[in-house]
Chain A
Amino acid sequence: MSVVRTTLSPLDDLFDALREGDERALEQLFTHVYNELHRLARVVRFDEAPATLNTTALVHEAYLRLQPSGGLDVESKRHFLRLAARAMRQVIARQLRHRGAEKRGGHVATISFQDYMVGTEIPIADLITLEDALRTLEDMHERQVRVVECRFYAGLTVKETACALDISTATVKRDWRAARAWLLCYLRVPA
């Protein structure tokens, strides 16, 4: 019956701990972020049909909701974005699995904000394969996978990705280019 605000102090503590290098805090933080994104992802954005997930908006939304009262310092924000991107990937993977899509097939339509790729269709199977491929790539070059999570799953810009991962924009571009090429090879997407 209460209208009590949920306190954010547990997250405050986590961010503090993170700054001090506590690895477990990272894990817990990830759980928070994941849960939050997961919840957010359950609901539709503004129009009623078709069900859409605006991933970038969700990440920013999650950031707004989870940041402690004083806001985050640069370091913590980095952590956050990184986690959000990873969480986003997991959220989508889970959504796909839940649909049982791999059994039935079907398509996912990608619509870019700037109408670049209106109507491009990605077979759901490919998205699932992508997930598998990423798992493999993670053992080869973890940073490249993070870049893919930031750029593709969370829709962050090159600069935001660079900030999140604490690397240069040039590195972001190279990593992305290489990872993409490898993933496409693996997916055997026809030219």
Chain B
Amino acid sequence: MATPSPSGPPAPLPPERWEAILSLFHDTLEQPAKAREAFLRAACDSDEALYHQVTSLLAADAMDDSFLATSRPLTTRLALEHSPMQDKRIGPYRVDEEIGQGGMGVVYRAHRDDVGTTVAIKFLRERFPSAERQHRFVTEQRTLGRLEHPGIARLLDAGTTDDGTPFFVMEYVDGVPVTDYCAAHDLDLSARLALFQQVGAAVRYAHAKAVVHRDLKPSNVLVTDTAAGPQVKLLDFGIAKLMADGEGTQTRTNERLLTPAYAAPEQVSEGGISTATDVYALGVLLYEMLTGKRPLDVSDTSLSEAVERILHQLPDAPSTAAAHPAGQAELPPVPPDALRGDLDTICEVCLRKAPERRYASAEALCGDITRFQTRRPITARPDTLTYRTGKFIRRHRAGVGATAATAVLIAALVTVYTLQLATERDRATEQAVVAESVVEFFVETLEEGNPNAVPGDTLTIYDIIDRAEERSDQLDNPLARANVLDGIGQVRHVYGQFDQADSLFTRSLDLRRAALAPDHPDVASSLNHLAQLYILQGDYAAADSLITQSLTILKQGRDVKANQLAEPTKILAHVRYRQGRYAEADSLYGSTVRIDRQANVLSDDSRADTHQEWGMAKFQRADYAGAAEQYRHAIGYFNAVYPEGHVATASALANLASIERVRGEYDAAVAGYQAALAMTQEILGPRHLNMAIIQNNLAVTYHRQGNVDTAAVMMAENVQLRQDLLGPNHPAVATAHNNLGEMLRDLGRLAEAESHFRTALTIRETALGPEHEKTVTSLNNIATLHEAQGAYETAEPMRRDVLARYRASLGAEHPRVALALSNLGSLLRKKGAYQEAESVLTEALDLRRRILPPVHDDLAQTLRALAALYVAREQWAAAEPLLREAHSIHQEVIPEHWQTAQTAVRLGQVLLHRDQLAVAESLLVDGYADLHTDLGPDAEATTEAESTLRALYAAWNRPERTPQVLDSLQVASTLLTQ
């Protein structure tokens, strides 16, 4: 056997020799253990060397507990020790001790002998593959060195050691990761947000200097306690970029493996990195600080699985996560109720998969957090149709980074002005001069870029915009300047920088007003832009005033083309809708569409919005057919723009289905809701409020359609979903419980129905108050249930309660009070408490007479109820006038309805007892015939009529007429029904 010598590798055996050893080795192993020795001896014959060699192998084979284990699956992790740098001297620093290991290298504490300062030095694991890379590293780190902010750990120096190991010297931060800090100090929500704002401030600063962090995570966000309170410090700013190899896959690979839990989708696919990438990481950080959990769990998965989740899995809302804390969570979550709503939205916006749909900057994010902290409405909207992000971004779906979109925008602006230039070049007019200088300006700005920016990727976009804004003062021509400011304002608008957009548009407007005639269309254009900003912020009054001015200008102006009116008309229509002035909105949308048809000025998605909103306006005016038509147009356009589906399309489908439902077209409605539901589920996932709303409507439609079983099952799911999303005490959950109760009641499952009504009642009492209309409705539902089951004793106090609550909240002269009185009176009558029933019903009747027109079904109901009371007490004279009145109302209002026939029968009954037999006969005969036709021979009302007829003929002493009449009536009615 080759004996190993410690000083070098052994000499190899000749292959044939090794083969011989091998076959003997295997053959021996096939023998039973006891027989091996003998076998081997025999096989080796006199070859001692062979014997020893095989024996050694067999001995080694028997060793099981070595790192070269035999049969175990060998997935190993080799933990490699870092090369100890302790006590080394690096420039003026002496390395002390290791303080941590990071993704890219090891960190040591070090100190400077001469000055006595303490620093941290991070040694990176890998050397540079080329001198060129090394040079780039040196120049780029200078940029990072210029980041001076209390929230950022300063980069002091960088270099490479003798053996080529790169290192960074950084400010030493003695702190703990921010999540640990929150846990250790048991911080409440406002304290956590305050810390987060510090993080945001640091990131904002860096972004303003065109530096993206790329690797934000708690271990890079340390907190130290200072005299002035906790101070956040961000580490490793921009280092990730610095260490990237260059373009292409390499960069992506490195970043991909860095920290998947914090990696944005574009970091694991091949999208562009931008400030929005940091916003994503900030979102993850915020989420973790608030809930103690990360939004996506990628801890124990393979890489490809992690990538899949980052790209496609939608995280739970923070409030949901906080409601189910992780078992051994170190950081306890903030109470979910505090997170529900705005903070949920803020996180959701940060964590959107498409970068251009997030907050465009840390500034925007912090702005919304501040608004939340100061209880103002936030600017972010959850993903619904009404959130506008500007047409440029809408056209570009996920995958296109900020660069492309803004580049398109700028290119478009340049094109517009270049075109303008081309057409006006022949006329040496003011406009040509303006257009030319604008084009030149933008092109120059683009070419110039920013000397301070880190070269590469999308960071320079913000810089370009800032630079353009700075440079705009250099333009002499005020109109050119106005145009530039307007263009920049549009970009800022698109990125959610509303305050800046506001100021830019205003400045542009002022310049134009000063330099142009007051009725110039460009002035109107500025007004349009400002109005759109105000709409986004909910200030409809301001938007109204601006748009109205704009339209006035455009309509009066001399140089105005019709197509310029389309956009402002649409905006005004929207404002009117929001103001509840639906008739005007209706007509304005119509104008918008007309103008667009001629001038072809709107984009398809703008048309989709227009038709959708027009539909909504028509719906409000109860023009259901018109609304349905508009929704159909909207759906057509949405499908053209978003063939793969979109929340807006789903919304339009659901709206159309609602109309169909209201009009009783249940099959169409079901199909429509199902389509909307499927699309919503695909886009937003099954746990989203939009799903809950559509599902509710679908279930209610099934109910109306008569498909009550299906409806109840679906509604039960809806209850659960709403509970999961909103918590068990939200009024919307009560609505679902209530709806479910009604369905169960109709299925005859009365105990369950009552339990849901009760749950709805409890929730509503707490959330809406005991006198809220919905709360009382719930109570009323329970009372009705009890009454229907004959449980008068329990129903009565509830009816009284309903009455009291309506009186308290609505006043004495309200239709609902009358209804409650009526219900109570009927109950009392059924119970036999005639005296009180009479007084209550009389009160109800008087009230209804006061507040209703003289011919109204509700009045007839009360008249019947009171008459029934008198009939029960055989007070025929009192009953007669009431039934006469009721009958005459019914004949006018619902002549074909069986209730009219029933009233006729009851009147006939009374007249019978008052000996007006002939009149009674004619009423009874007609009434019986109608009831027989409408309800059939076995219905309660029909049999009641039949027995009254018999009684009549008996009293008339013409009992023989009974069968004659009845037969003929029955024959007649049979003929009718056939």
Tell me if A117 and B69 are in contact (CB < 8 A). Answer: yes
Residues of B within 8 A of A122 (CB): 67
Tell me if A188 and B63 are in contact (CB < 8 A). Answer: no
CA distance A110 to B840 in the complex (A): 88
CA distance A99 to B163 in the complex (A): 11
Tell me if A178 and B8 are in contact (CB < 8 A). Answer: no
A167 within 8 A of B: no
Known pairs A108-B80, A152-B74; A185 contacts B1 (CB<8 A): yes
- Size of the A side of the interface (Cβ < 8 Å), in residues, is 79
Task: Name the interface residues of B1-24: CB closer than 8 Å to any CB of A.
Answer: 1-2, 4, 8-15, 18-19, 22
CA distance A186 to B11 in the complex (A): 11
Name the residue of chain A whose CB is nearest to the CB of B303: A61
Using a CB–CB cutoff of 8 Å, the interface residues on chain A facing chain B are 1-6, 36, 39-40, 42-46, 48-57, 60-61, 64-65, 92, 95-96, 98-101, 104, 106-114, 116-117, 120, 122, 124, 126, 129, 132-133, 135-137, 139-141, 151-152, 155, 157, 174, 176-178, 180-189, 191
Closest beta carbon of chain A to B215's beta carbon, Å: 11
Tell me if A113 and B57 are in contact (CB < 8 A). Answer: no
Tell me if B72 and A177 are in contact (CB < 8 A). Answer: no
Using a CB–CB cutoff of 8 Å, the interface residues on chain B facing chain A are 1-2, 4, 8-15, 18-19, 22, 25-26, 29, 56-61, 63, 65-70, 72-84, 100-104, 125-126, 219, 245, 247-250, 253-254, 257-261, 270-272, 298-299, 302-304, 401, 403, 455-457, 460
Tell me if B69 and A43 are in contact (CB < 8 A). Answer: no
CA distance A100 to B163 in the complex (A): 11
Known pairs A3-B270, A64-B304, A117-B69; A51 contacts B82 (CB<8 A): yes
Instruction: Give 9 pairs: A residue, B residue, CB < 8 Å, sorted on A.
Output: A55-B75, A95-B80, A112-B75, A113-B73, A113-B75, A181-B58, A185-B60, A186-B2, A191-B63
Residues of B within 8 A of A180 (CB): 60-61, 68, 70
Tell me if A110 and B67 are in contact (CB < 8 A). Answer: yes
Tell me if B401 and A3 are in contact (CB < 8 A). Answer: yes
Residues of B within 8 A of A56 (CB): 75-76
Name the residue of chain A whose CB is nearest to the CB of B17: A140
Residues of B within 8 A of A155 (CB): 73-76
Tell me if A44 and B103 are in contact (CB < 8 A). Answer: yes
Residues of B within 8 A of A2 (CB): 247
A50 contact from B14, B79, B249, B401, Cβ within 8 A: B79
Known pairs A92-B78, A186-B4; A57 contacts B249 (CB<8 A): no
Closest beta carbon of chain A to B550's beta carbon, Å: 39
Residues of B within 8 A of A184 (CB): 60, 63, 66, 68
Residues of A within 8 A of B1 (CB): 185
B77 contact from A52, A64, A141, Cβ within 8 A: A52
Tell me if B81 and A108 are in contact (CB < 8 A). Answer: yes
Name the residue of chain B whose CB is nearest to the CB of A56: B75
Tell me if B257 and A49 are in contact (CB < 8 A). Answer: no
Closest beta carbon of chain B to A92's beta carbon, Å: 7
Name the residue of chain B whose CB is nearest to the CB of A161: B74
Residues of B within 8 A of A5 (CB): 248, 270
Tell me if A99 and B83 are in contact (CB < 8 A). Answer: yes
Name the residue of chain B whose CB is nearest to the CB of A134: B9
Tell me if B81 and A46 are in contact (CB < 8 A). Answer: no
Residues of B within 8 A of A60 (CB): 302-304
Closest beta carbon of chain A to B484's beta carbon, Å: 24
Closest beta carbon of chain B to A174's beta carbon, Å: 6
Tell me if B12 and A139 are in contact (CB < 8 A). Answer: yes
Residues of B within 8 A of A98 (CB): 83
B76 contact from A64, A112, A177, A183, Cβ within 8 A: A112
Name the residue of chain B whose CB is nearest to the CB of A47: B299
Tell me if A177 and B12 are in contact (CB < 8 A). Answer: no
Closest beta carbon of chain B to A31's beta carbon, Å: 13
Closest beta carbon of chain A to B72's beta carbon, Å: 5
Residues of B within 8 A of A113 (CB): 73, 75-77
Known pairs A1-B457, A3-B272, A177-B70; A189 contacts B83 (CB<8 A): no
A57 contact from B26, B78, B302, Cβ within 8 A: B302
Residues of A within 8 A of B11 (CB): 136
Tell me if A120 and B67 are in contact (CB < 8 A). Answer: yes
Closest beta carbon of chain B to A61's beta carbon, Å: 5
B61 contact from A48, A117, A181, A186, Cβ within 8 A: A181
Name the residue of chain B whose CB is nearest to the CB of A186: B4
CA distance A186 to B66 in the complex (A): 13
A116 contact from B18, B61, B69, Cβ within 8 A: B69
Tell me if A53 and B260 are in contact (CB < 8 A). Answer: no
Known pairs A3-B270, A113-B75; A51 contacts B101 (CB<8 A): yes
B4 contact from A4, A44, A137, A188, Cβ within 8 A: A188
Residues of A within 8 A of B63 (CB): 184, 189, 191
Residues of B within 8 A of A133 (CB): 4, 9-10
Closest beta carbon of chain B to A1's beta carbon, Å: 5
